[in-house]
């Protein structure tokens, strides 16, 4: 057999070079990619992420569901509440940071932030906000219950002040428009010259849930005080020097730790400001973020790998029923710790409120037993889940849910509260959700993952071509040598 003239040595050298390049890409590209991503995921000026970090270019879905009490008269006499969930009321939530100050030496960023809520009746079904609801009055009942915790001798004076502020209310419940209790405000009359009433009204100026209408009137709402107002000052790591520090909370309102709880361990900020997370997160350490409204850092644990719009993601879930109050310093005192699956907010806000997952999902079953009807906890509807892109740590889909409950107890000295049941009373729950559309996820696909796909194809192509080329060149060289050695030399003249 005769093979055409071919430079087998060159072919072999080229094949080996391709094989080395392919193997080199196989070994070095992951490290180069990690280094590139680490260098880009920071919030220093000039980074691609900075403009997105300062002002989120899309709105967060913010939904509010309230619990309507359908048997108020029975509850006043001590019976279990019957609840009817009303909602969701759908809002656009636009997040914005302002007054940003960079510290190059510390690699930190200090900023203030605010949220803007825009009601979307077109996405709220038939709900308009004009619906009439009955629920425990957060301010009337809340004031009685807060004073009853550690200032019981003041209850008679507070009772008189409540009568002045709310014109001798017939009970301690609110019955009125949903939008009034949510955002527009419920009227408070501060025109009385009573000393206790005046003292209470003076304290309203520092309460974000209460806004001043005029010299003698205020308005209370659950969310109005958080709508486009300064919610505090964060100091966070920028992640330029160390990518693990991006978004990590260093201080809030100038304090490097909280003074809410009894021990330093509970007063430490853990995690980020919840708007950004570091790249290449370890599955074992979970996802942690600090939430000022509850004076706590909360964490979510890794569950599984999955995909979102074709992108590999890690799924995290928060289990508030497991060890959330394992530290004694989260208890009100040595003998009073929150029920499983709840957070006592009294030390944080001064009000007898508890946070939990909606419908007491994963909480102590005794809490459900205190409600006659209206609660049906489920993982799908009431759990907290988050999907993060594996390499950059970008949240692609999330549903953060939290329910707020009033710690109701009978108060013998107060007629309006004398026969109330001893129950953790659900008031409302909120859901912050984001599900990035394909416009955003395709950007990730077309940049990061497209590059990875191209490099993967190239490296395997080089390796395969290099191996095949080397083998083929070697075989052809051997066969050509054998062919030359088998040639017979014929003498002249024969």
| Under 8 Å between Cβ of 289 and 388 | no
State residue 322's pLDDT score.
60
Q: Is the pLDDT of residue 31 over 90?
A: no
State residue 138's pLDDT score.
96
Give the domain ranges of the chain.
Answer: 1-58+453-487, 59-435
> What is the percent of the chain with per-residue pLDDT over 70, rounded to a whole number?
80
Contacts of residue 179, Cβ cutoff 8 Å, sequence gap at least 6: 119, 129, 130
Stretch 142-169: mean pLDDT: 94
Between 22 and 63, the more confident residue is 63
Contacts of residue 146, Cβ cutoff 8 Å, sequence gap at least 6: 346, 350, 351, 352
State residue 269's pLDDT score.
95
Stretch 298-315: mean pLDDT: 89
Mean of the per-residue pLDDT values of the chain: 85
**Reduced to 3 states, what is the DSSP secondary structure of residue 176?**
strand
Phi, psi of 317, deg, nearest 5: -135, 150
| Under 8 Å between Cβ of 82 and 373 | yes
Q: What is the pTM of this model?
A: 0.84
State residue 396's pLDDT score.
87
Q: How many CA atoms lie within 13 A of 133 on its CB side?
A: 26
Highest mean pLDDT among 85-94, 342-351, 450-459: 85-94
State residue 395's pLDDT score.
85
State residue 484's pLDDT score.
63
Q: What is the pLDDT of residues 180-204, one digit of tens each?
A: 999 999 999 999 999 999 999 999 9
Q: How far apart are CA 203 and CA 196, in angstroms?
A: 11
How crowded is residue 83: how many other Cβ atoms within 10 Å of its Cβ? 21
Tokens in use for 129?
């906000």
Highest mean pLDDT among 25-39, 253-267, 359-373, 439-453: 359-373
Q: How far apart are CA 139 and CA 176, in angstroms?
A: 14
Tokens in use for 184?
């527009």
**Which range, of 19-28, 76-85, 114-123, 252-261, averages the lowest pLDDT?**
19-28
| Residue keyed to tokens 């409204």 | 293
Q: Is the pLDDT of residue 285 over 90?
A: no
Contacts of residue 163, Cβ cutoff 8 Å, sequence gap at least 6: 169
Q: What is the pLDDT of residues 331-365, one digit of tens each?
A: 888 778 899 999 999 999 999 999 999 999 999 99
| Under 8 Å between Cβ of 91 and 118 | yes
Contacts of residue 446, Cβ cutoff 8 Å, sequence gap at least 6: none
| Under 8 Å between Cβ of 89 and 127 | yes
């Amino acid at each position: 057999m005769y093979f055409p003239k071919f430079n087998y040595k060159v072919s072999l050298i080229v094949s080996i070079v391709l094989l080395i390049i392919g193997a080199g890409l196989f070994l070095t590209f992951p490290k180069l990619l990690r280094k590139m991503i680490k260098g880009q995921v920071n919030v220093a000026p000039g980074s691609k992420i900075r403009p997105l970090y300062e002002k989120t270019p899309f709105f967060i879905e913010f939904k509010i569901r309230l619990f309507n009490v359908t048997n108020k008269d029975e509850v006043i006499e001590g019976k279990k509440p019957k609840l009817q969930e009303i909602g969701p009321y759908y809002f656009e939530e636009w997040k914005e940071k302002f007054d940003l100050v960079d510290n190059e030496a510390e690699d930190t960023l200090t900023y203030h932030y605010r949220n803007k809520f825009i009601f979307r009746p077109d996405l709220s079904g038939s709900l308009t906000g004009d619906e009439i609801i009955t629920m425990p009055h957060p301010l009337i009942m809340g004031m009685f219950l807060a004073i009853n915790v550690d200032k019981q001798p003041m209850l008679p004076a507070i009772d008189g002040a409540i009568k002045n502020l709310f014109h001798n209310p017939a009970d301690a419940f609110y019955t009125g428009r949903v939008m009034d209790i949510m955002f527009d405000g419920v009227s408070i009359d501060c025109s009385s010259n009573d000393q206790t009433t005046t003292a209470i009204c003076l304290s309203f100026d520092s309460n974000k849930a209460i806004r001043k209408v005029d010299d003698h009137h205020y308005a209370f709402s659950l969310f109005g005080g958080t709508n486009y107002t300064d919610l505090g000052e964060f100091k966070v790591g920028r992640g330029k020097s160390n990518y693990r520090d991006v978004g990590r909370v260093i201080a809030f309102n100038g304090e490097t730790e909280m003074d809410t709880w009894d021990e330093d361990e509970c007063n430490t900020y853990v995690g980020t400001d919840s708007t950004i997370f570091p790249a290449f997160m370890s599955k074992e350490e979970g996802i942690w973020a600090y939430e000022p409204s509850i004076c706590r850092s909360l964490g979510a644990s890794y569950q599984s790998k999955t995909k979102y719009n074709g992108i590999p993601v890690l799924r995290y879930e928060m289990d508030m029923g497991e060890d959330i109050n394992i530290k004694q310093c989260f208890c009100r005192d040595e003998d009073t710790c929150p029920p499983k699956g709840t957070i006592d907010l009294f030390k944080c806000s001064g009000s007898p409120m508890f946070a939990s997952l909606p419908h007491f999902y994963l909480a102590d079953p005794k809490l459900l037993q205190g409600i006659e009807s209206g609660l049906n906890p489920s993982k799908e509807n009431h759990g907290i889940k988050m999907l993060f892109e594996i390499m950059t740590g970008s949240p692609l889909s999330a549903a953060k849910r939290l329910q707020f409950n009033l710690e109701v107890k009978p108060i013998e000295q107060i007629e309006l509260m004398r026969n109330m049941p001893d129950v953790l009373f659900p008031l409302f729950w909120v859901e912050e959700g984001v599900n990035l559309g394909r416009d955003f996820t395709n950007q990730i696909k077309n940049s990061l993952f497209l590059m990875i796909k191209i490099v993967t194809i190239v490296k395997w192509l080089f390796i395969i071509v290099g191996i095949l080329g080397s083998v083929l060149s070697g075989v052809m060289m051997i066969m050509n040598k054998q062919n030359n050695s088998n040639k017979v030399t014929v003498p002249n003249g024969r």
